Amino acid sequence: MTESIFPKKFLWGGAVAAHQLEGGYNEDGKGISIADLMTLGSHEYPRELTATIEEGKYYPNHKAIDFYHHYQEDIKLMAEMGFKAFRTSIAWTRIFPNGDETQPNEEGLAFYDKVFDECLKYNIEPVVTLSHFEMPYHLVTKYGGWSNRKLIDFFTRLAHVCFEKYHTKVKYWMTFNEINNQANYESDISVYENSGIKFNEDDDKQKIMYQAAHYEMVASAEAVQIGHAIDPSLRIGCMLAFCPIYPASPKPEDILFAQRAMDSRLYFGDVQVNGEYPSWLKQYFKNNNYNLDITDNDLQILKQGTVDYIGFSYYMSFTTKYTDHLDYREYQDLVENPFIKANDWGWPIDPVGLRYALNWMSTRWHKPLFIVENGLGAYDKLTEDHEVHDQYRINYLHDHILEIKKAITEDGIDVIGYLPWGCIDLVSASTGEMKKRYGFIYVDEDDHGNGSMKRYKKDSFYWYQNVIKTNGQEL
């Protein structure tokens, strides 16, 4: 497949999140976010979620890679690669430090004006997420996070301010990052990052998750309507973490169980794209006596605020098998897939799964698809000559882009663009590490914030530069 079949306006670029690269956690009026209270972890032990900033503990998001002061240098490097789009997020606490103020912080707004202007100087399209695992901690302590309906108003206020301020600079928006991660409700960090909820011992975690997710999806639908009212040309999408879930065997019970697992993890897309809850889930609520706070007005808002496209991340596939229950529980129901390898952090590497994901979503939801995260976290070595020979990353991205090509040319899938994750090295969301590197650009900083902070181009920088230059013709 040597002939380029990517659309002429295909959005090649990269993706990051504010809390993982900006730093400047207490500068220019910024408030404390939930990410600012997460300590350094690793693959072996989880990040700690502290109630205050504790002396003697390291909080990697406080400094990150200091994009707050390096954004001009970093965006220039992205422009050198030929980026057509750059995905980042608005740090909610830069705009509303506590989250419940009525007036925004002008210094925070000014920072993103500068970032977006810098992108546009190089004809790079900003792609912006409104909430990417960085909600104000004040909303956790005072309101209980997204377990409280009041957060709908706080979020839509943020959305209105951002759409009004930046609609001439930012065309592509997404509301909540990987909103469906919390389907794994037994993972405290997943629900905390998504919804700012800390469970008590006797809580019905699943019920609380469903309620919080409902409020978020109502807020998302309201935001879509607000954005379209301000500027009908805006394209506002949802953002899902897509992990195909394969049956472990052709056994009918395994196939049915894998189907229900996919439904459970991706019903969020059904609501945000179709504007209504799927029938199986409504029956599930009824069977389990989940009398959630879902009003008739909420259902109307969901209907009227469906998204324009589906943004999604793709890193890996899962495999599962039926045991003794039909209620999929991600924390215990996954099994190893003997046909695929894994990276150093145990994440399965499955390029074909990306093509599967594109087909699954296109068939189910009939909307344009935007790959806004994909990449390989790996140990990179900086040589004495300040080079990084990351052929393993080139191989990973090559294989995934090849599957996108097939999805477009053989399956007829409408794909907007491809934005690999962590296009510049940044703090890992799952572990807080720097050594879990994704970028085309190496940042000289270790897990504890030590280093020169200098930026160096990896081998993958030049490879991806040529991919973009040839519009995917040369991989």
Q: Which of 373, 403, 433, 445 is catalytic?
A: 373
Q: Is 33 helix (H, G, I), strand (E, B) or coil?
A: strand
- Residue-wise pLDDT for 242-273, tens only, equals 999 999 999 999 999 999 999 999 999 999 99
- Residue-wise pLDDT for 95-133, tens only, equals 999 999 999 999 999 999 999 999 999 999 999 999 999
Q: Which residues contact 385 (CB under 8 A, 6 or more apart)?
A: none
Task: Find where tokens 């490879």 sit.
Answer: 463
CB 79 within 8 A of CB 126: no
CB 387 within 8 A of CB 28: no
How do beta strands 348-349 and 341-342 pair?
A: antiparallel
- Catalytic residue list contains 44: no
- Residue-wise pLDDT for 431-444, tens only, equals 999 999 999 999 99
CB 43 within 8 A of CB 447: no
Q: Is 90 exceeded by the pLDDT of residue 465?
A: yes
Q: What is the mean pLDDT of the chain?
A: 96
Average pLDDT over residues 409-428: 97
pLDDT at site 208: 97
pLDDT at site 329: 87
pLDDT band at 468 (very low <50, low <70, confident <90, very high): very high
pLDDT at site 328: 87
Q: Is 285 helix (H, G, I), strand (E, B) or coil?
A: helix
Q: Phi first, then psi: what are they for 467, rounded to 5°? A: -60, -45
Q: Is 70 exceeded by the pLDDT of residue 21?
A: yes
**Which domains occur in the chain, in start order?**
9-468 (3.20.20.80)
- Residue-wise pLDDT for 202-236, tens only, equals 999 999 999 999 999 999 999 999 999 999 999 99
Helices (H), 82-179: 92-95, 106-121, 137-143, 151-166
Closest by Cα among 308, 304, 300, 240 to 269: 240
pLDDT at site 294: 98
pLDDT at site 2: 44
pLDDT band at 1 (very low <50, low <70, confident <90, very high): very low
Q: Which residues contact 240 (CB under 8 A, 6 or more apart)?
A: 178, 179, 180, 266, 268, 269, 310, 311, 312, 313
Q: Is 466 helix (H, G, I), strand (E, B) or coil?
A: helix
CB 356 within 8 A of CB 244: yes
